[in-house]
Structure 1
Amino acid sequence: MQSTSDQLLFELKTRGPATTRDLAARARITRQAAREHLTKLAGAKLVDHTRTATGVGRPGHKWSLTEKGHGRFPDTHAQMTVELIETIRGEFGEAGLTRMLARREQTMAEKYEQALRGAETLEQRLAGLVRLRSAEGYMADASYLDDGTYVMVENHCPICAAAAACQGFCRSELALFARLLAPAQVERAEHLLAGCRRCCYVVTPGGQGH
């Protein structure tokens, strides 16, 4: 069973900075209990806060994860993966690394397309993609906006170290999403490696019904 402290960390990871009041409401605990948990997490250097004006009374706290806090959500086999990337780059050059990424993209596309077989509408394919990515540790979610577009969010990147060592991973995944959701257009609006807290993709419906 997830502890209250872990639940608060999860909320900050998936929904971004939040006040003590909001976190208490989401965890269904009192504000005092939330403050006690957050104070302990701050003591462990997993969260930090800034003061925010509430309009009445003393300023409140807005909490966010620290780098150490983000580290509680694992980057799968990070060191080994980076070492393998550098080995491939050293042995076969950038061209070899590009071929490896292309092979990975093709393998993932075949796997995802098999899993999405029978999903005909954009909503169905997007929902299926979210399930696949969440199962792989990306903490994915999707929502429909009033302007007719969809937004797919990945709150965590379990291959972040690999992506930092070779941004071809990110380009490859964007191409993969575009392939799976075609004829919809897919654009990356937020990027973890650009300093954002998550990766966010805007999906604009194309010729298919939705």
Structure 2
Amino acid sequence: MTTRINFHKTRFLISAPDIAHLEQHLPQSSAIEIAFAGRSNAGKSSALNALTDQKSLARTSKTPGRTQLINVFAVDEWRRLVDLPGYGFAQVPQAMKLKWQQALAEYLQHRECLGGVVVLMDIRHPLKDMDRQMVEWSVASELPVLVLLTKADKLPQSARMKTVNEVRSALKALQGDVIVEPFSALKGTGKEKVLSILDNWCHPQWLLDAINSSSPSE
């Protein structure tokens, strides 16, 4: 399975505390953004590192809840990956949780260059309240959603697929463009399939038209 984009070239671009700061430095443009969201212990940073074949692109921490900013990574001139603040970790103060949730909601609802949302959930504890809300927000915004059930290596194959099918069934009622896949940053499970999905998201016709129109004529 091949992709047209070399995700290995992804580099850190900017951090922002909220969408206002983000748009000040990265105003709406012809670039497309793919957002990564999930609970603070869902393995979001590990997934980003695995998908880009980099050990420290996104910082991982033994203390979940450290990612308090919107972190933007440039795949190339036209495409970005966005690491949204982790949500739902019990040891984070309630005021901080609310602040992060507001940042998440603002980004999903107002960032017009957003082309898709990857929602990461620990395969052993999927579909918590905020997970469901994140998927519902995305579907309501008519965005494609990729639900990654992370740490798939923690379960045997039979239990893994049972959980995948249960989550697919639970989210089918939303009637949105929702894909559910198992993933393991440690073992590489699902990596090629995920990269293929991201590659497709990164090639919408409006972006291809913008790239073509910006190319110098011969």
Asked if Structure 1 and Structure 2 have the same fold, meaning a TM-score greater than 0.5 normalized by the shorter chain, the answer is no
Question: Please, what TM-score do these two structures have when normalized by structure 1?
Answer: 0.27
Structure ranking higher in helix proportion: 1
Q: TM-score, normalised by structure 2?
A: 0.26
Larger Rg: 1
